[in-house]
Structure 1
Amino acid sequence: MPEPDPTRRLRLDLSYDGSDFHGWAVQPGLRTVQGELEAALAQVTRTPVAVTVAGRTDTGVHARGQVCHLDLGEQVLAGLPGRSDRDPAAALVTRLAGVLPADVVVHTARVVPDAFDARFGALRRTYRYRISDSPSVHDPLRRDVLRHRRPLDVEAMDRASEVLLGEHDFLSFCRPREGASTTRTLELLRWERPGPGFADAGLVVATVRADAFCHHMVRSLVGTLLPVGEGRQGEGWPAAVLAARTREAGRRGEAGAASLCPPQGLTLEDIEYPPDDGLAEQARRARTLRG
């Protein structure tokens, strides 16, 4: 009986335009990022491959800095360069580029310690939500920006966000998974309108960073701040929604579960990990914390 092929863990860094995907996770009969990626990996390696992702994105949400990991047999990995002397991980990137659709790009692949866990090993995740609130800055070529009909007061939105920073139970802003915690540490929620010469000039941009996010949390944070920017709610509105700690809709004039903004303005920008010697401890701590 042949000896089993030992495996090596690889980290993939990738980007995608989420406009034409039904989110990250595989769903029968629907086009998803995970489905396209795993099909491409299976075609290139000639073996079934399952990937674990840092953060599952919803339908229509984009990623510039997504991360996932997978395990490949050493013999499979060694065979990827063919007759060339290329690094096997670099050969994987080149071969994936030939079979993936144009709206998914794997930028890099590299062998990592077995303790690396793309999901639970992450220290923090950063998202940006981009809004165009004026016809003068609408760009029909961009699919990562929400077109908004009313002008927004960026300074008021930024001030109102301060109360949400730190560790809180974000139940009002999440669609919770049964038995899982909705407590998160929000490190950054900043609103700005970049000036001429800067990236995203003229747009309203929210930068959101946390140790982790529960389902729909970023879109709910933005959805709660939009009425403040429009002047329909005062700057104390986000604090009231946070304090409500409910999934029920609010009665007229009262705070309830946060409103959910559309997905197309949201992009996963970056994911940070600890040094290799801290990977196992970070993954253990995160699993315990998230239930």
Structure 2
Amino acid sequence: MRIRIDLAYDGTDFRGWAVQPGLRTVQGELQVALATILRVESVSVVCAGRTDAGVHARGQVVHLEIEEPPDLDRLVRRLNGLLAPDVRVRRVSVAPEGFDARFSALRRHYAYRIADSAAALDPLTRAQVLAWHRRLDLDVMNEASALLVGRHDFASFCKQREGATTIRTLEQLSWVRDESGLVVGTVVADAFCHSMVRSLVGCLIAVGDGRKPVAWAGEVLRAAERHQGVTVLHAHGLTLERVDYPGDDEMAKRAEETRAKRVAADA
């Protein structure tokens, strides 16, 4: 049986999602807790988005295979009893036929939060919000963002991994100021390559505070290789907000299509 787990975490004290020997990671903590509860030697989970060190999540999704159907409500309670308070399991459910947390996903939604004024600074949210020393012009940031939306090779904004494609479809990249005065960037794509979101924000913040013109964002994109002028911004401002999936009857088809595209792109 395949089950789905929806969870949230504060990434501050984690070295990212993926298991790393000798380091505290979200995947490592979750797998140990699951193995303890299920009374098995080891458990392997697959996630929708492999967040980097320091990145947070409200809407992470994982799946795993188990031999016997558990009491789902009890499993939620026991997991939250074993896990540290900076990781919370929100729900556990039996996954629909063909569901894959990674490959069935349609898109990932991230938010990057910035306090660009003294009035917006809040010590209670300092671990989730980037404090910026210059006022940002959201109009020019949105103008520059429009140059990046669509299907492109985002090599200029990614730390490339050997054999992996950097072609992605960026569905939304937009900026608003919320009721508290925080600048909130919404970034939505079918998938992201390593450090892509923080690099996009690093590019656009340089436009927003006047250091670069709007057209620079397009120039960086067209360079199609890692751009030294783009700063990868701090991880703590970034949160994985949610992951979208198709209807239950489309899960398997979507997973197959995504796998085929990745294999073709990486070939």
Shorter-chain TM-score: what band?
over 0.9
Is residue 146 of structure 2 the alignment partner of residue 152 of structure 1?
Answer: no
> Equivalent residue for 2:77?
94
Q: Which runs of structure 2 are paired with 1:260-271 in the superposition (5 Å)?
A: 260-271=232-243
Distance of 2:251 and 2:162 partners within structure 1: 27
1:249, CA displacement in angstroms? 2.6
Give the aligned residue type for 1:110: S
> Equivalent residue for 1:126?
109
Given that residues 97 and 249 in structure 2 are in contact (C-alpha distance below 8 angstroms), is that contact kept between their aligned partners in structure 1?
no
45, 50, 57: which one aligns with 1:51? 45
Distance of 1:162 and 1:50 partners within structure 2: 39
1:217, CA displacement in angstroms? 0.7
76, 85, 106: which one aligns with 2:89? 106
Q: Could you tell me the TM-score, scaled by structure 1's length?
A: 0.87
Distance of 1:139 and 1:20 partners within structure 2: 20
Is residue 172 of structure 2 the alignment partner of residue 182 of structure 1?
Answer: no
> Equivalent residue for 1:253?
none
Q: Which runs of structure 2 are paired with 1:34-49 in the superposition (5 Å)?
A: 34-47=27-40, 48-49=42-43
Is residue 254 of structure 2 the alignment partner of residue 289 of structure 1?
Answer: no
Given that residues 140 and 208 in structure 2 are in contact (C-alpha distance below 8 angstroms), is that contact kept between their aligned partners in structure 1?
yes
1:114, CA displacement in angstroms? 4.4
Q: What SS does the corresponding residue of 2:188 show, helix, strand or coil?
A: strand
208, 217, 230: which one aligns with 2:196? 217
Given that residues 220 and 227 in structure 2 are in contact (C-alpha distance below 8 angstroms), is that contact kept between their aligned partners in structure 1?
no
> Equivalent residue for 2:250?
278
1:178, CA displacement in angstroms? 1.7
Is residue 12 of structure 2 the alignment partner of residue 19 of structure 1?
Answer: yes
Q: What SS does the corresponding residue of 1:70 show, helix, strand or coil?
A: strand
Q: Could you tell me the TM-score, scaled by structure 2's length?
A: 0.95
Q: What SS does the corresponding residue of 2:66 show, helix, strand or coil?
A: strand
Q: What SS does the corresponding residue of 1:231 show, helix, strand or coil?
A: coil
* Structure number with larger C-alpha Rg: 1
Q: CA RMSD in A?
A: 1.1
Q: What SS does the corresponding residue of 1:105 show, helix, strand or coil?
A: strand
Stretches of structure 1 that go unaligned for 5 or more consecutive residues are 1-7, 79-87, 196-200, 251-257
Given that residues 181 and 289 in structure 1 are in contact (C-alpha distance below 8 angstroms), is that contact kept between their aligned partners in structure 2?
no
Q: What SS does the corresponding residue of 1:73 show, helix, strand or coil?
A: coil
Distance of 1:138 and 1:259 partners within structure 2: 22
1:248, CA displacement in angstroms? 5.2
Q: What SS does the corresponding residue of 1:243 show, helix, strand or coil?
A: helix
Distance of 1:224 and 1:25 partners within structure 2: 27
> Equivalent residue for 2:155?
171
Q: What SS does the corresponding residue of 1:128 show, helix, strand or coil?
A: strand
Q: What SS does the corresponding residue of 1:58 show, helix, strand or coil?
A: coil
Distance of 2:35 and 2:160 partners within structure 1: 33
> Equivalent residue for 1:3?
none
Q: What SS does the corresponding residue of 2:258 show, helix, strand or coil?
A: helix
Is residue 118 of structure 2 the alignment partner of residue 135 of structure 1?
Answer: yes
Q: What SS does the corresponding residue of 1:141 show, helix, strand or coil?
A: helix
> Equivalent residue for 2:55?
61
Distance of 2:241 and 2:144 partners within structure 1: 23
Q: What SS does the corresponding residue of 1:267 show, helix, strand or coil?
A: strand
The aligned length equals 261
Distance of 1:25 and 1:34 partners within structure 2: 5
Cα pair distance change 1:132/1:163, threshold 3 Å: same
1:288, CA displacement in angstroms? 1.9
Distance of 2:227 and 2:236 partners within structure 1: 25
161, 186, 198: which one aligns with 1:207? 186
Stretches of structure 2 that go unaligned for 5 or more consecutive residues are none
